[in-house]
Amino acid sequence: MRSTLGAPLLLLLLLAAGSDGTGAEMDRKPNFVLMMVDDLGIGDVGCYGNDTIRTPNIDRLASEGVKLTQHIAAAPLCTPSRAAFMTGRYALRSGMASAGRAQVLLFLGGSGGLPASEGTFAKRLQQQGYTTGLVGKWHLGVNCERRGDHCHHPNQHGFSYFYGLPFTLFNDCMPGEGSDVMADLQVTLRHMAIILGVGLFTLVCVRASGLLEVSLWLLVSLFLISILATAVWYVPFKLLPTWNCIIMRNQDVIEQPMTVETLPQRLLGEAQNFVRRNSDRPFLLFFSLAHVHSPLFETPAFAGKSRHGCYGDNLEEMDWIIGKLTETVDSLGLANNTLMYFTSDHGGHLEDANSRIGQSGGWNGIYKGGKAMGGWEGGIRVPGIFRWPGRLAAGTVVDEPTSLMDLYPTLKYLAKDTLPDRLLDGHNLMPLLEGSVKRSEHEFMFHYCGVYLNAVRWHPPGI
Ligand SMILES: *[C@@H]1O[C@H](CO)[C@@H](O)[C@H](O)[C@H]1NC(C)=O
Ligand SMILES: *[C@@H]1O[C@H](CO)[C@@H](O)[C@H](O)[C@H]1NC(C)=O
């Protein structure tokens, strides 16, 4: 009896020791620092051909590592692109692609978000013993049924630490910058409220002056309708900064509305602290910047310094932030055991400009189109840089098609995660990055805008 029980028990103990995240094997698991800029265009970066902007820190990552020239976002807008990035699958598969006009989450109070049943690379790494953190923008929902259930929250999707914007930075967060949410509907509702109010006022005057008979019921009904129209306009739209522009630390709202001016420094500080706190164990940090989405920052140290106005200043500030985080990784002696990744969620927002500051959206270089355009390169082709000094050869350039969805299987592979999983649309990038193969495994890539297929990229075998 004893001997028959003994063997399985020993086996169980061995298995447990192998998977509980301790021991020498764990030491060899690399750290991951994934840096995603919001709305950054491929033409905004020095090492992708822009010779008038200064991005020395990003350029340095590329010169010390691998630069991908055909790195493709799975969607041309934030929510679906980030859903695909997190899950390694097209957004259509997780229900994060929309058939309607609004293709991103617009109201934090809404019930939409990345379903709890979805797998994310953060969950997978967590299961492998990683400490996982998200600092910055999420934009994949918060609640399902009621306020506070936090079913879509980063903490439920594999990030044990979250500090940042459950929504996104957008114009409504800054007074005087206009609105990013259904501006035409807002204008219509506002006009309706004004017309009703003026009509009511006129009728009250007419009645008071005794010019005409105006029934009291008509006035009362009109009054109620005016109140309703004003509420329908005011509550969802004018209170947007309160609803949407918030900062959370894990499950708590710590700023509402948030202070935009100091956000860059605070996000950087949080990211650096996360790395410092976890320098002695395998960690995943997803640093999802508020830059370079509008409204633009006007940080004194960068204002007026670039050759491209306020937008250029924001680019150079963003590059500085990337440099600071890289410096933190390097100064802790973690460089050789840390895979650093730099990208954007999709192409630059070409049409974004205003009369006061001019350009306020990104530049996609030679590629046509931009943000919100799934069928043109400018909307989906983004910078993609990997740096890992101990493992990836410096100065490598890979021209093969790759996807942001490739991160999921790549991280799984490096974390030695061999547990069963669903079918993924991404492929492990390590063979390409290390140069052991020359061809990408992507034969077809599907370029969606919402649920609509706008284009397909074919990379025929053997060419
Ligand atoms: C460099 O980036 C800025 C900012 O987006 C842009 O205005 C400029 O046209 C770009 N220059 C080149 C040469 O691509
Ligand atoms: C990191 O790796 C590089 C290349 O293999 C090596 O030259 C360097 O000495 C390593 N640095 C440390 C701190 O181990």
Calculate how far, in angstroms, residue 41's C-alpha sits from the geometric centre of ligand 1: 10
Q: How far apart are CA 124 and CA 424, in angstroms?
A: 13
Report the residue among 47, 52, 364 best suited for mutation to probe ligand 1: largest number of ligand atoms under 8 A from its CB.
52
The 10s digit of each residue's pLDDT in 314-357 is 999 999 999 999 999 999 999 999 999 999 999 999 999 988 89
| pLDDT tens track, the chain, 463 positions | 344 444 444 444 444 444 444 444 445 799 999 999 999 999 999 999 999 999 999 999 999 999 999 999 999 999 999 999 999 999 999 999 999 888 999 999 999 999 999 999 999 999 999 999 999 999 999 999 998 999 999 999 999 999 999 999 999 999 888 888 888 888 999 999 999 999 999 999 999 998 888 899 999 999 999 999 899 988 888 898 899 999 999 999 999 999 999 999 999 999 999 999 999 999 999 999 999 999 999 999 999 999 999 999 999 999 999 999 999 999 999 999 999 999 999 999 999 998 889 999 999 999 999 999 999 999 999 999 999 998 999 999 999 999 999 999 999 999 999 999 999 999 999 999 999 999 999 999 999 999 999 999 999 987 6
Which of 182-200 are b and which e, b meaning 16 or more Cβ less than 10 Å from the residue's Cβ?
eeeebeebbebbeebbeeb
CA–CA distances in Å: residue 302 to residues 239, 288, 298, 316, 339: 31, 20, 7, 7, 29
Ligand 1: residues whose CB is within 6 Å?
A: 43-44, 50-53, 308, 311-312, 359, 362-363, 365
Pairing of strands 338-344, 381-387: antiparallel
Q: Which two tokens stand for residue 25?
A: 């094997």
- Cis amide leading into 292 (omega within 30): yes
Provide φ and ψ at 114, rounded to 5°.
Answer: -65, 120
CA–CA distances in Å: residue 115 to residues 74, 125, 289, 290: 18, 18, 23, 24
Long-range contacts of 83-86 (CB under 8 A, 24+ apart): 83/114, 83/118, 83/140, 84/404, 84/405, 84/425, 85/36, 85/345, 85/404, 85/405, 85/407, 85/408, 86/114, 86/118, 86/120, 86/121, 86/122, 86/140, 86/157, 86/408
Contact call for residues 107 and 244 (beta carbons, < 8 A): yes
Domain boundaries, given as residue ranges, for the chain: 28-169+245-458, 183-236
Work out which ligand 1 atom sits closest to the CA atom of 44.
Answer: 2
Q: Any idea which residues carry the catalytic annotation?
A: 78, 139
pTM above 0.75, yes or no: yes
Contact call for residues 146 and 110 (beta carbons, < 8 A): no
| Torsion, Cα of 220, 224, 227, 233 (10° steps) | -140
- Cis amide leading into 30 (omega within 30): no
Calculate how far, in angstroms, residue 390's C-alpha sits from the geometric centre of ligand 2: 6
Helices (H) and strands (E) in the chain, counts: 14, 15
Question: What is the amino acid identity at position 134?
Answer: L
The pLDDT assigned to 408 comes to 98
- Cis amide leading into 257 (omega within 30): yes
Q: Which two tokens stand for residue 324?
A: 């600071």
Q: How far apart are CA 133 and CA 159, in angstroms?
A: 5
Closest residue to atom 14 of ligand 2, CA basis = 336
Superfamily for 28-169+245-458?
A: Alkaline Phosphatase, subunit A (3.40.720.10)
SS3 70: strand
The 10s digit of each residue's pLDDT in 377-389 is 999 999 999 999 9
Tell me the sheet residues that pair with 446: 456
Work out which ligand 1 atom sits closest to the CA atom of 41.
Answer: 5
Contact call for residues 308 and 325 (beta carbons, < 8 A): no
Closest residue to atom 10 of ligand 1, CA basis = 50
Sequence length of the chain is 463
Closest residue to atom 2 of ligand 2, CA basis = 390
Calculate how far, in angstroms, residue 182's C-alpha sits from the geometric centre of ligand 2: 52
Contact call for residues 362 and 346 (beta carbons, < 8 A): no
